[in-house]
Structure 1
Amino acid sequence: MRKPLASLLLAILPLAGLVAGEVAGHFVSIPGGRFVSALDYPDARNGVRISAYALMRRPVTNAEFLAFVKRHPQWRRDRIPAAFAESRYLSHWTGPDTLGPDAQPDQPVVWVSWFAAKAYCKSLGARLPTWLEWEYAAAADETRRDARRDPAWRERILRWYARPSSHHLPRVGLQAPNVYGVQDLHGLVWEWTEDASSLLVDVDNRTQGDPDKGKFCGAGALAMKDRNNYAVLMRVAMLSSMESRDATANMGFRCARDIP
Structure 2
Amino acid sequence: MKLPLTSTLLLTLAAPLLASGGPAGAADYVAVPAGRLVTVLSGGNAGNPPVKVGRFAMRTEPVTNGEFQAFIAAHPEWQRGAAPPIFVDANYLRQYDGAEAGDGLNQQPVTNVSWFAAQAFCESEQARLPSWYEWEYVAAADERRPDARKDPAWRARILAWYSQASNGSHGAIGGKPNFYGIRDVHGLIWEWVDDFNALLVSADSRDQGDPEKLQYCGAGAISLQDRDNFAVLMRVALLSSLKGADSTNDLGFRCARSLTKDKK
TM-score range, shorter chain: 0.7 to 0.9
Structure 1 counterpart of 2:40, from 23, 38, 62: 38
Cα distance per residue 1:134-168 (max 9 Å; x no partner)? 00000000000000000000000000122231162
Partner of 1:65: 68
Cα distance per residue 1:83-102 (max 9 Å; x no partner)? 0000110011036xx65566
Say whether the 8 Å CA contact 1:53–1:258 is kept in structure 2.
Answer: yes
Q: Please give the alpha-carbon distance, in whole angstroms, between the structure 1 residues aligned to 2:65 and 2:58.
A: 18
Equivalent residues in 2 for 1:109-258, closer than 5 Å: 109-166=110-167, 168-173=169-174, 175-201=175-201, 213-214=206-207, 220-258=220-258
Which runs of no fewer than 5 residues in structure 2 stay unpaired? 209-216
Q: Please give the alpha-carbon distance, in whole angstroms, between the structure 1 residues aligned to 2:71 and 2:53.
A: 30
SS at match of 1:34: strand
Q: Is 1:16 the counterpart of 2:27 in the alignment?
A: no
* More off after superposition, 3-12 vs 153-162: 3-12
SS at match of 1:2: helix
Cα distance per residue 1:70-125 (max 9 Å; x no partner)? 11110001210000000110011036xx6556661000000000110011111111
Q: Please give the alpha-carbon distance, in whole angstroms, between the structure 1 residues aligned to 2:229 and 2:115.
A: 25
Q: Please give the alpha-carbon distance, in whole angstroms, between the structure 2 residues aligned to 1:23 and 1:78.
A: 27
Q: Report how far residue 45 of structure 1 moved.
A: 2.6
What code does the residue aligned with 1:11 have?
A
With over 3 angstroms needed to count, the CA separation of the structure-2 counterparts of 1:199 and 1:102, relative to structure 1, is farther
What code does the residue aligned with 1:235 have?
R
Say whether the 8 Å CA contact 2:34–2:55 is kept in structure 1.
Answer: yes
With over 3 angstroms needed to count, the CA separation of the structure-2 counterparts of 1:243 and 1:255, relative to structure 1, is same
Say whether the 8 Å CA contact 2:168–2:250 is kept in structure 1.
Answer: no
With over 3 angstroms needed to count, the CA separation of the structure-2 counterparts of 1:99 and 1:84, relative to structure 1, is farther
Structure 2 counterpart of 1:2, from 1, 6, 16: 6
Q: Please give the alpha-carbon distance, in whole angstroms, between the structure 2 residues aligned to 1:212 and 1:183.
A: 29
Partner of 1:208: none
Cα distance per residue 1:37-81 (max 9 Å; x no partner)? 022146x93111100000000000001001110111100012100
Say whether the 8 Å CA contact 2:201–2:237 is kept in structure 1.
Answer: no
Say whether the 8 Å CA contact 1:198–1:240 is kept in structure 2.
Answer: yes
With over 3 angstroms needed to count, the CA separation of the structure-2 counterparts of 1:162 and 1:66, relative to structure 1, is same
Q: Report how far residue 35 of structure 1 moved.
A: 1.0
Say whether the 8 Å CA contact 1:200–1:219 is kept in structure 2.
Answer: no
Partner of 2:58: 55
Identity of counterpart residues, as a percentage? 47
Q: Please give the alpha-carbon distance, in whole angstroms, between the structure 2 residues aligned to 1:239 and 1:93.
A: 24
What code does the residue aligned with 2:139 have?
A
Report the aligned-residue RMSD.
2.4
* More off after superposition, 146-155 vs 241-250: 241-250
Q: Please give the alpha-carbon distance, in whole angstroms, between the structure 2 residues aligned to 1:119 and 1:103.
A: 24
Q: Please give the alpha-carbon distance, in whole angstroms, between the structure 1 residues aligned to 2:9 and 2:103.
A: 33
TM-score by length of 1: 0.87
Q: Please give the alpha-carbon distance, in whole angstroms, between the structure 1 residues aligned to 2:168 and 2:238.
A: 19
